[in-house]
Structure 1
């Protein structure tokens, strides 16, 4: 079976990645790496040898569990197909009441514990699964535990992520959570397009405003181009299910991200067309891109009661061929007309 599908532990042995542990998951033509020392986030992600993910200039970085000081996070954010942001803050760093809250929080740098990796038969399905716990805690402070499971099945082009967050403290705790999915070259090119069932779109700032009408298109890389961020209100079905997709008709490939708006009501788009920083971020979240100060001032900080749990489920699907691309575009049009 390992000729077709496998989960193998690995350790990187050079440079800033030295000592970084991960699991290499191979499901036929689908391949991805789960970074055990980075909150079980997903690094490299490819299909039939075509790279889907963005990797930032700092590259892979090993066990820097507390490399989260303010904007210094930009020296350790690797991108990858997914990094998880939270829990005290998402997006820009801030200081409130004398306490510093780092950019995108601390969970993305926290190594997983109680790790498990397996490949096994479940009836007629051959399953590859990686799971573990990621704890964010402070003396006299919070005690939040994320239990994450990442699963794929032989013959499918699907990766399922199930996260359960539990507040193991004895007081309500803020739970800000953003899933930062990052698409890069070669899937990302001027032939690509972002597909959303968008009902409304707003720019994050004045830098983004002149580019509002072009949010779905992808330009060629341009030297020193600033980043643009857009806030989308997405249509959903009766159960709250919605999606975002990036398609490349030239390659006849794409990637689709499914999630539920009831759990993750916010969706942000990060668009970086800069040469050397060429990326498109798809960002479902339970909090706004404006971060902790915005929610504190509005009295709307999402809180998790003591001993309570919340579950978040996301699905990554590889789109292969014109039919898949047409289907996702038609679905976005149907949803947005509901």
Structure 2
């Protein structure tokens, strides 16, 4: 049963109190009309509990804004929500992605994640294309979706707000991969459920990699905000050669720093008895946080991104199918996921707003019960990258 405004509601009781559900909550399709964002379709979700978020139909059904009771949780960069028609996929030596990078959720893949690289293209059997050049974090994030549907649906006394669509990443003599995405939230709820299926719709054996760039900004990210995770081992840090130079460890956020150079970490996480891995970012001062829960079998790798640069102040939680070692290393280590025609991989993720000190404490207690994380802000990276396997 939906809980709204401190009472249990049904479709009938809410209908008696308003002409449409949209008075309280719902999903609405709008189109942005100005600047670099012009022409992007957005789905606006409101659960009635204070949770609100927007889904970019024309950018892989990624989530742009996420807020609770007017307090921002998601991050926006100076680029804004740039229309995909303006995106330069091969620009700046493979770094064109950073000119379109903004929002709470940026999906990376579907056949490449991490830095620019050139890889063999033998499986596509085209003599004029012996290799494929990939830019930073792949192509899928700026591909428009075909919207299958959206709206509100009552199941008995539970009301689900939902949207579905298909995003295609394809080339002649190349990959033909589809991302089937469904997004749900409950009336009166504080969580967003994301279900993805990646399907090889083509007939060539095709590599598959996936990473979610879950980017959290101010006011959740602020001086003293904490990263809480069931970390078994800190595997790697991009800045290990100058580990303490910026006086920023993995666990606690500083205030914005002019001239800060990004720091990237990879952690080895422990899953709970059901195979789930919860990670949270919490701000005790304002009593607000976000928990991101994934499945270890689907995302065996966990990356943490810190960019505390003034004007680009953000921290990212990045569940990944592969290690930060990248595309070529995944092939060399026999860890690449290869999809034949019709093969499918599924990914289930839940984003939960922690809107009170009690909710923060409950999430933190659960995470610590799975595994205590290193108390040291600068744990020595082990350099041990466990073997990862494709989901069966």
TM-score range with shorter-chain normalisation?
over 0.9
Q: How does 1:69-218 map to 2 (within 5 A)?
A: 69=90, 70-78=94-102, 80-97=103-120, 98-206=131-239, 210-211=243-244, 214-218=249-253
Q: Which has the larger radius of gyration?
A: 2
Which region of structure 1 is more displaced relative to structure 2, 41-50 or 288-297?
288-297
Distance in 2 (CA, whole Å) between partners of 1:288 and 1:208 is 19
Deviation at 1:140, TM superposition (A): 2.0
Distance in 1 (CA, whole Å) between partners of 2:86 and 2:291 is 30
Distance 1:280 1:51, change over 3 A: same
> Which runs of 4 or more aligned residues in structure 1 lie more than 3 Å from their structure 2 counterparts after TM superposition?
206-209
Which residue matches 2:327? Answer: 292
Distance in 2 (CA, whole Å) between partners of 1:119 and 1:239 is 30
Q: Does the 8 Å CA contact 1:39/1:107 hold for their aligned counterparts?
A: yes
Distance in 2 (CA, whole Å) between partners of 1:178 and 1:152 is 22
**CA RMSD across the alignment:** 1.7
Distance in 1 (CA, whole Å) between partners of 2:327 and 2:89 is 16
Distance 1:67 1:207, change over 3 A: farther
Which residue matches 1:238? Answer: 273
TM-score, scaled relative to structure 2: 0.83
Deviation at 1:91, TM superposition (A): 1.4
Q: Does the 8 Å CA contact 1:235/1:335 hold for their aligned counterparts?
A: yes
Instruction: Please give the per-residue CA displacement for 1:19-62, whole angstroms capped at 9, x wherever unaligned.
Output: 11111111111100000000000001100000001111111111
TM-score, scaled relative to structure 1: 0.95
In structure 1, stretches of 5+ residues that fail to align are none
Distance in 2 (CA, whole Å) between partners of 1:30 and 1:169 is 38
Deviation at 1:178, TM superposition (A): 0.2
In structure 2, stretches of 5+ residues that fail to align are 1-20, 121-130, 374-392
Which region of structure 1 is more displaced relative to structure 2, 30-39 or 84-93?
84-93
Distance 1:231 1:14, change over 3 A: same
Q: Does the 8 Å CA contact 1:203/1:209 hold for their aligned counterparts?
A: no
